[in-house]
Structure 1
Amino acid sequence: MGLKEKEVMRLIEATNKMKNDFKGKDQEKRWRPITVSLSLQDSLNRLAKYELDSIRKKLEIKNASSLKKAELIQLLVKEIPASLEKIGKRLDKERYSLLTELVRNGGRLIAPNLETRQFNYFLENGILFTGTFEGERVLVMPQEIVDAFSKIEDTRLQPIILRNTEWIKLTQGALYYFGSLRLAQLVEIVESKLGEELAVREYLSVIEDAISYYKEVKLDEKGFYYPKVLDPEQVQREHKSRSTIGYYPFSKVQLLTAGEVGFVDRNESFKRFVDYLDDTFEMTREEAGFIVEELMYATKNGKAPQELLAYLQTRVSFDRIDSLRAAMDRIIDLMNQTREWFLKGYTSEELSALEQKSLQPLPSKVIDIHTKKKVGRNDPCTCGSEKKYKKCCGR
């Protein structure tokens, strides 16, 4: 190893050490000792000024950026309880259930197994605080929040919670299967499953709030997309190139199921591939499942069979050519049965069958019905996809 390579390795090690040290300090701060009977003011006093500013921004409190820490705490003590109903109207069943359980337990609960961002979500709303009490990690809801939350009428809020839950899951499910969608496309799909028109501004507020908690959706100026999509704009271009084909008609139940956090479409080809890896190589079914999941997402991102095989070869060793052929057979089987983002949620087999059904066999020279001219195999395709005829409708 040369001097330059050693310097790079030392830099990487130092960076990783800094990250681990920061993470350790963050965990130490998050779970420092706490009293379970806390007032809202005492809870806020535990936070740094930047954390208080995060709450202020989350609650959209205006004209308070210049306040000192003590002044800001006094303001938040008034504003947080007053904001509870507004916060409640953005919740889904999972988050609402956690809050109601805390209320029933008098504001104290053994900390559930949540991600760091999910603890931060509640902290940034100023309603839950973390710490260690009598050797156990706990969530604490200040008494003022318990009292204010108890006064919110459950019968009035419940229909909103159920509506939000459907909105969030349908959105996450649609993006799981279609990859990337503009707002208008997403709204149209969700409306078609609900059978009613969306209040778009309210819908956006609920989805953006859910993104900060679940991280199952990404959002930028071009639209919404699933986190594992490598190039959202390319997905949308591929959708546009297939303008004559609608999005795959998933049922409401299918999208709600795919909208569950951590959902993976483990179809029969997926299971066959896991069985093959489990039977052929020394690995657990969990390890095999992870590999096949990565291959599935590579397929969804439009990667070629050779690229999937190259990835597989980084995870397992093939000592015979027939083993390599068997692996490629499994790859092709998986690719044919995977619902692809580029194909608007269809598998390649389904789309091929759909195209065969709608198109008669075409000769090497066809007539463009608009120009009445012959179209050669190397000419632009008449469907408007901007691809050559031989690589599009002439295949």
Structure 2
Amino acid sequence: MSVSLEQVRSAATAFTLRDALGDLSKDALTTIRKHASVKNVSKLNREQLLEALIELLPASYEKELLSLLNLMDEERIALLDFAVAKNGAVAVTDEWTEQMTQYWLELGLLFKQNIADRDVMIMPVELIPVVQEVLKQLDRKAIALNTSYLASVKGMIYYYGALTHEQVEQITSRYPMFEQLKAPLMHIIINYRHYRADLGLNETFVHHYAIPDPTLIVKERNKREDLDFASLTALQLQEAGGAQFVFRSHAHQLLVDMLHKQFQLPKFEANLVADQSEFGIRAGLQLQDLLEYVNRELKLSEEAMNMLLPRLIIMYNNTPQWCLKGHTSAELTLESTEAEQAEKSFGRQLGRNDLCYCGSGKKYKKCCMNN
């Protein structure tokens, strides 16, 4: 017989801290103890630590939980809001991951249980009033700002590929809105990474989750020390930090249109090929590698590939690249051309015998003309 979610929630009212913690290892109990800052229990054996947590965890979280919640985003806070409103029980959806389960277990707040063949996350009954009270104290505007910030960091990684922790902070300083964040920047990012895996993180770098070795991207990028990271608005970063975002420029659309109209590819397949091409270009794929990928996917004749080549080149030149610090090669070529033209124009305006523009007092021909 099917069990309703209300019946599951009714059963959850009997779920205690002893039920939640009883089968955990000492290491797992120690992790919970550290998060809740339970004092004077570090030298206890496993059984003693279990009893101490059952007794002390609610009181410790009355004092310590707010600082933990201040690191979270709206998604996690909404989950806690829902849990305390529903007797501590939250249904596990298809999008739920084991990483999320582990995150809540390590905090000692929610535990995965199977009730009548239905997976749910349950909050121990002793913690429900504690969490409910702390949620009332929470500054929701600060949580909204955390959410915007995390989206912006994912947007940075979308365009730049990998950043050192220091570079994340430097780029963040461009956006005055984030001066109001209550928690340290890297603490917010680290806490998020424990919950979701769509952001890469190690001791040195915040990076795209699909990059096995971010140092390769950084090594290539460091060849352009004189180039600053592309300037992007906060809105651009937050859009790029959204799920399934793809930078679909006019060049991207030109490629999709040709694949769909001239090569009779279904629209979703044309978009898929263009999206994968965009990711490859962003990640550092060379033009020849891109051509080989498209040819492998579509199995085109030489004539067809020659027809497609101009569109691929346009897209290649107009897609932001990680090794170019979020710039496109077309942007850099244009800037270089404009600089050369300005220099030539300036050189024509300044006569050989005029005083040099550098302020040395010498004639231009005797000073900077040959530089």
Q: TM-score range with shorter-chain normalisation?
A: 0.7 to 0.9
Distance of 2:180 and 2:221 partners within structure 1: 23
Q: What amino acid does structure 2 have at the position aligned with 1:253?
A: L
Structure 1 partner of 2:353: none
Cα separation, partners in 2 of 1:63 and 1:327, compared to 1, 3 Å: farther
Match of 1:30 in 2: none
In the TM superposition, what are the counterparts of 1:197-236 in structure 2 within 5 Å? 197=179, 202-229=184-211, 231-236=213-218
Aligned length: 336
Q: Which residue of 2 aligns with 1:36?
A: 12
Equivalent position of 1:79 in the other structure:
57
CA distance in 2, matches of 1:147, 1:91: 20
Aligned to 2:341: 360
Matches of 1:201 and 1:299, distance apart in 2: 35
Pick closer, same or farther for the CA change 1:74–1:271 going to 2, 3 Å: farther
Alpha-carbon RMSD: 3.4
Counterpart of 1:242 (choices 224, 228, 249) is: 224
User: 309, 319, 324: which is aligned to 1:343?
Assistant: 324
Aligned to 1:254: 236
2:314 corresponding residue in structure 1: 333
Alignment partner, residue 298 of structure 1: 280
- Written as runs of structure 1 = structure 2, the 5 A alignment for 1:111-190 is 111-112=92-93, 113-152=95-134, 154-190=136-172
Equivalent AA in structure 2 for residue 313 of structure 1: N
Specify the alignment match of 1:108 in structure 2: 89
| Aligned residue number for residue 322 of structure 1 | 303
| Aligned partner of residue 143 in structure 1, secondary structure | coil
Deviation at 1:68, TM superposition (A): 4.3
Rounded to whole Å, the distance in 1 between the matches of 2:264 and 2:100 is 36
Deviation at 1:203, TM superposition (A): 1.7
**More displaced, 226-235 or 119-128?**
226-235
Letter in 2 for 1:79: L
**Separation in 2 of the partners of 1:198 and 1:243?**
31
Displacement of 1:46: 4.6
Tell me by how many angstroms 1:249 deviates. 1.4
* Structure 2 match to 1:45: 22
The 3-state SS of whatever aligns with 2:96 is coil
Q: Give the TM-score taking structure 2 as reference length.
A: 0.77
Give the unaligned 5+ runs of structure 1. Answer: 1-32, 364-368, 376-381, 383-395
**Structure 1: distance between partners of 2:45 and 2:259:** 60
User: Structure 1 residues 238 and 136 mapped into 2: Cα distance closer, same or farther (>3 Å)?
Assistant: same
Question: Are 2:252 and 1:270 aligned?
Answer: yes
| Contact 1:222-1:233 within 8 A present in 2 as well | no
Change (3 A) 1:71 1:282: farther
Q: Return the offset for 1:92.
A: 0.7
* Equivalent runs, 1:4-19 vs 2, <5 Å: none
